[in-house]
Structure 1
Amino acid sequence: MSGTLHLFVSRGLLGLSLLCVTVLTRAEAPGAEVGSVRLQIVGPGESGAAEPMPARVSLSGPDGEPVLPPGLPNWRDHFNCDGTVELDLDPGSYAYVVERGPEFTRSAGKFMIEAGKRVDLTVPLERLVDLPALGWYSGETHVHRPPSDLPLLLRSEDLHLAPVLTVWNRTSYWRDRPLPDQRLLELEPGRAYHLMACEDERRGGALLYFNLERPLDLDADGPEAPSPVVHLREAVAEQGAWVDVEKPFWWDMPTWVATGHVRSIGIAHNHMWRLGVLDNEAWGRPRDRDQYPPPRGNGLYTQDIYYRLLNCGLRIPPSAGSASGVLPNPVGYNRVFVHLDAPFSYEAWWQGLAEGRSFVTNGPLLVVSANGEHPGSVLQSPEGEPVQLEFDVQLWSNDPIEAIEVVRDGQVVHRIDDPDLGEPIRLDALHFDQSGWCLVRAIADVPETFRFASTAPFSIEVGEPRRPVHRPDVEYFLRWIDARIEAIEADPEGLLTDPSVRQSVLEPHREARQFFERLLGQAE
C-alpha cells in the first residue's frame, strides 16, 4: 500500500519557511510495534544535479525529546550524517530541521510514523551562495568534540577548518595516548583540522592555543596561580602558538592583550546559541544590564569591548567559536570566514585571519568591500587628503535581517533597515578627514538569540601613518585592570596565601597597567 503525506512547517523560533515534501509510505510486517524512516538529504552536486549531501539533523519525537541515532556524531539536540540515515521509531508525530551551515537553505517539516510502516523522506537543501567560489572559507576556533568525529562534522557543517581542543586544563585526550605523528589532518582539498589545540580556562577567563607541536602542561595549575601569562609566553616562544582570547569580557583580557602575543579575540562566542543565549558573563567582568538588556545585551557588550580595544590602536582581528561538546551549539554555529586569493590551505587561512581579511557570523553571510578592498585593509592618504569610503555589500541569510549598520570608531554612524538579501547594496559614502577605523555588521531579526555578522575592521590612515588612541577607552581598561588587581590583593577565597605567589600573579597585571599608561600618553 502506498500514499502521500504532505509535510509542513510554519515560521517558528528558527525563522523557518514553509516547506512541502512528498513522503511515500508502504506496509511492513503486520503487527510490528514500530515503524521506520529512511531520511535522505540531497543538494546540488558539482554538476548541479541533486545528490546525497552531508548535513546536520535535529529530530524530535512525539514527546518533544531529541532522537539521536547510535553510531553517528551527535550532541544535545542534533546529529550529523553523510546524507542518508535509516531509523526505527515508535509510532507518532516527528519534527525535523535539516541544516548544512549558513550557505545552504534550512529545511524543516513533520512526518508521522505508523506501526509496521516505513516513511521514505527526501529533504532538499539549496545553496544560498557559494562563498568558496568568491574566495571565502569558514573555520571555527572552539571545538570540544571527539577528534574521530571531525571528518564528518566538517563535511556535514560545510566547515573548512577547525582546530580540536584536545587539552582543557586537567582534561587531556593525550593522557593515555601517544601524541600523533600527524597533527594536521587534511580530509580533502579545502577541509582540514588540527589535533593539537588547548584551552587554559581559569579565574581570569579562557585562552585558546592553536597549532601547537605538543600539549601545554596545565595539570598543576590552580584557579589563579601560576598566571596564565606564564603559559602564554612559553607557548609563543617555544611553539610559535596562535593565541586567541576566547571572549572579550574575561577579567584578564586586557592583561593578555598587553603582552602583544594575542592574535585574535572571539566576538561570536559560545554565549550565543542557536536557540537562545547564555545571558551572563560567567566569571568575567559583568555588564550593566540596564545598558545591555537581554537577549542581545551580552553580544552587544562583547562588541563594544572589542570596539574599545580598536580605539586603543590595537588591530586584533575577531574570531568565532561555538564550544560544541560543552554548550548546546553545533560545530560551526559561530564561525569566521577568511578571504584567500589562492586555493585553500590551512596555513593560508590563518595568515588571512591574521590580516583581518574576514567576517564572523552565526547566521548572516556578509561580504563587504570598501573602495574595492577587503576587511583588514589599511586605506591610506599619505598626503593628508580626506578619505572617502564607498562600501559594496552583499548579504545572504536564512533569517530576516533587521538592519545593516556601519560602525565608526565604536559608534553606529549609518543604518539600513530591512535590507534586500542577495542583491548588491551600495552604502552611503563615509568621509574620513582623520585616521580611524570602521566595520560593517548585520543583525538578524531573531527574537530569542543574538544572531549577527560583522566584518573585521577597515583601518584608515590620513596623513602620517598612525593608530589613533582614544583617551576614554584607555582609561576604561585602566579602571578594569585596577579592579582586577584589587580583587587579587583582597583574595577573599584564600587562593594566594603565599606572598611570593601572589606577587607573581599580580606582576602581569601591573605590567599591563604600564602598557595602558603608555597608551594614555599617546591618547588624543
Structure 2
Amino acid sequence: MPTLTIETGAPARVTVRGPGGTWHAPEDAVQDLTASDRPGVLGMDRDPSDGSVIEPGYPAHFLADGTAEVPVPRGACTVVVERGPEHRRVERVVDVGAGPARVAAVPERWADLAGAGWWSGDLHVHRPLADAAALLRAEDLHLGAFVTRWNDQPTAADEPAAGGGTGAPAGGAPRAALTVDGDRHAVAPVTEDERGGGAVLLHGAAVPDLPGTGADDWWSPPSRALVDAARAVGAFVEAEKLTWWDAPVLMATGAPDAVGVLTNHLVPGGVLANEAWGRPRDRAAHPGRAGAFRYQLGLWYRFLGLGLRLPASAGSASGVLPAPPGWNRVHVQAPGPLTVEGFYAGLRAGRSVVTNGPLLTVTVGDAGPGGTVPAARHRVRAEARTPDGAARVEVVVDGRVAARSDGPALDATLDLRGAGWVAARAWQPDPRTIRLAHTSPVHVDGPGPDPAEHRAFFARWVADLAVMARAEPGRFPSAARRDEVLDLYDRAARFYR
C-alpha cells in the first residue's frame, strides 16, 4: 500500500477512511482498543421505545503527535482531524496514487478558555494511564480522572501507589499521577463503585476490598459506606449519574461534591436512551432519545429545588463507551497555572460549565456559576459560542425556562424574588446526538419556592427501594445486611418528609 503522511501541526485525533469504506491507522498508534461502537443499544435498552442508536466508526481513530504515516489503498481517502471543541474540525479528501501522498490538516484554535481561567476536564476516563499524556494533549484536556479500580475488574497495572491500611480506602485528596506541559494532569487513583444502586466515583481513593458484582454484593454493602470511608481520607465524591436507584439515598444521607450532568449516555455517534439498570423513566412523559436525557436533567433540577448545592460535572467513560476523553467535558474556573487542587476546589465551589458542544458563559448580575445573588431583579446575560455560530440559549430558573433566544446570545432582566437558583443552557443542532452546554447554578439568597413536590417525588422513590428490599431477601447475604440497607433507606425517607 502507498503511505499517506498527515500533518496535524500538534497532537490530535485522526480518522482515515479508504475508498472502500475501510478504516486505516498506523500499527503503533494510540487507539481505543476497549470501547464498542456497534450499532444498536449496547445491550442496555429495557424498552423498544428507547430507540438507542450508535453510529459505527469511533474505534477507527488514532492519535497523532504532529504527523502520522498511514498505509492506505489507492483512491480517494477521507481524513478527519479533531482536537477538542476549542479547535475547528478539519476534513480533507486525498486522492492517493501509486506513490506516497501528503496532506496538511491542522485544526485551528478558535477559542481559548484556559487563557480566560476556565480549564477543561473529563471526570470519568477508562483508558490506560500509559496513554494519558497522548490523550490529554490530543483532546486538549487539562485534567482527566483515570479510573484505576472498578468492581470485578483487575486493578489497573499502572495505578500509582496510594499507601493506607488494609481494608480501608487508601489515598486521599485527588492528585496527579502524571503531569505534562505543566498544566495537563492525569488524576489517579480513582475508584468507581458500580453495582445495583448505581455508580459513584471516588477521586483520589483506592479501595482495596471493593465489592464484586455477584448476587451477594450487588446491593450490600451500600455504596454509602464506601463514600463515607473515602471522604474521611479526603477523596472527592461524584455521583456518576442521577438515574441510579441510590441517587436520592446518596443525596439525603450526605450529598456528593458534584454530580454528572453530561454523562456517558451521550456519545458522538448517538444516545443511549435508557437508564441502564437504574430507575426507569415514565416513557409516556419522556419518550425517545430526547426524553431520556431530559429525564436525567430534570432529576438534577429537582435536587437543586431541595436546596442542595450540586455542581455540574461531566464524563465520557472513554474506554467503555464509544467516546473520546473530553467528549463530555467540564470547564472549571480556577486560578492558573492549573493545579489538581485548584481544579477540584473550583468544581466543589460550583464554578463549572459542562459541554459536549457550545462554549457557554453566563452572568446573573455580577455573579457567575457557583455565585450567590440577592433576591431581586437581575440582568442575566448568556452567550454560547460554536465554530459555526449555530446554538440557541435558554435561562432556567428553578427548573423552568424563564427566557430563551433563537440565537447564541441572550440578554434579559428577570425578577428573581422567590427564586432558588438560575442557570443557563445552550443547545447545538446535531442529527446524531444531543449537543448541550449547561452551567452550574447561580444561587438566589432568599426564600425559594416550596420544595414539597420534589420531596414527595423522592419520598416515593425511596419507598419503592424499601419495598423491593423487603420483597427480595435474596438481594442480601444475611438479614443483618438487609437491615443495614433498610436503615439507610429509612434515614433517606426522613430527609424527604
- One-letter amino acid of the counterpart of residue 153, structure 2: T
Query: Is residue 2:280 matched to residue 1:323?
Result: no
Q: How does 1:110-509 map to 2 (within 5 A)?
A: 110-114=93-97, 116-174=98-156, 179=161, 184-212=177-205, 214-220=206-212, 222-237=217-232, 239-380=233-374, 386-398=375-387, 401-417=390-406, 419-420=407-408, 425-462=409-446, 469-491=450-472, 494-496=474-476, 498-509=478-489
Contact 2:421 2:442 in 1 (8 A): yes
Change (3 A) 1:217 1:176: farther
Contact 2:117 2:334 in 1 (8 A): yes
- One-letter amino acid of the counterpart of residue 88, structure 1: P
Aligned-residue offset at 1:293 = 2.6
- Structure 2 Cα separation of the partners of residues 234 and 468 of structure 1: 35
- One-letter amino acid of the counterpart of residue 68, structure 1: A
Structure 1 partner of 2:11: 54
Aligned-residue offset at 1:436 = 1.2
Change (3 A) 1:376 1:178: closer
Structure 2 partner of 1:522: none
- Structure 1 Cα separation of the partners of residues 158 and 211 of structure 2: 14
Aligned-residue offset at 1:226 = 1.2
- Structure 1 Cα separation of the partners of residues 211 and 197 of structure 2: 17
How many aligned positions are there?
457
- One-letter amino acid of the counterpart of residue 92, structure 2: G
The 3-state SS of whatever aligns with 1:247 is coil
The 3-state SS of whatever aligns with 2:21 is coil
Aligned-residue offset at 1:334 = 0.3
Change (3 A) 1:482 1:276: same
- Structure 1 Cα separation of the partners of residues 159 and 295 of structure 2: 41
The 3-state SS of whatever aligns with 1:171 is coil
Aligned-residue offset at 1:219 = 4.5
The 3-state SS of whatever aligns with 1:231 is helix
Contact 2:265 2:273 in 1 (8 A): yes
The structure that has the greater radius of gyration is: 1
Change (3 A) 1:111 1:315: same
Contact 1:205 1:284 in 2 (8 A): yes
Contact 1:37 1:87 in 2 (8 A): yes
- One-letter amino acid of the counterpart of residue 91, structure 1: R
Contact 2:373 2:443 in 1 (8 A): yes
- Structure 1 Cα separation of the partners of residues 20 and 282 of structure 2: 39
Name whichever of 119-128 and 179-188 sits farther off: 179-188
Name whichever of 141-150 and 216-225 sits farther off: 216-225
Change (3 A) 1:195 1:472: same
- One-letter amino acid of the counterpart of residue 186, structure 1: T
CA-atom RMSD in angstroms: 2.0
Task: String of CA shifts for 1:128-153, please: whole Å, max 9, x gaps.
Answer: 21111111101111100000100010
Structure 1 regions of 5+ residues with no counterpart?
Answer: 1-33, 42-51, 381-385, 518-524
Report the TM-score, using the length of structure 2 for normalisation. Answer: 0.87
Query: Is residue 2:4 matched to residue 1:37?
Result: yes
- One-letter amino acid of the counterpart of residue 508, structure 1: L
- Structure 2 Cα separation of the partners of residues 145 and 326 of structure 1: 8
- One-letter amino acid of the counterpart of residue 223, structure 1: W
- Structure 1 Cα separation of the partners of residues 337 and 487 of structure 2: 45
Aligned-residue offset at 1:399 = 5.8
Contact 2:392 2:428 in 1 (8 A): yes
- Structure 2 Cα separation of the partners of residues 230 and 180 of structure 1: 20
Structure 1 partner of 2:49: none
Aligned-residue offset at 1:457 = 0.4
The 3-state SS of whatever aligns with 1:314 is coil
The 3-state SS of whatever aligns with 1:54 is strand
- Structure 2 Cα separation of the partners of residues 216 and 130 of structure 1: 40
Structure 2 regions of 5+ residues with no counterpart?
Answer: 33-58, 164-174
- Structure 1 Cα separation of the partners of residues 159 and 139 of structure 2: 28
Change (3 A) 1:65 1:207: farther
The 3-state SS of whatever aligns with 2:124 is coil
Contact 1:477 1:516 in 2 (8 A): yes
Report the TM-score, using the length of structure 1 for normalisation. Answer: 0.83
Structure 1 partner of 2:43: none
Task: String of CA shifts for 1:198-225, please: whole Å, max 9, x gaps.
Answer: 110001111111022x444214561111
Task: String of CA shifts for 1:454-478, please: whole Å, max 9, x gaps.
Answer: 010011113xxx5655110111011
- One-letter amino acid of the counterpart of residue 209, structure 2: D
Change (3 A) 1:65 1:467: farther
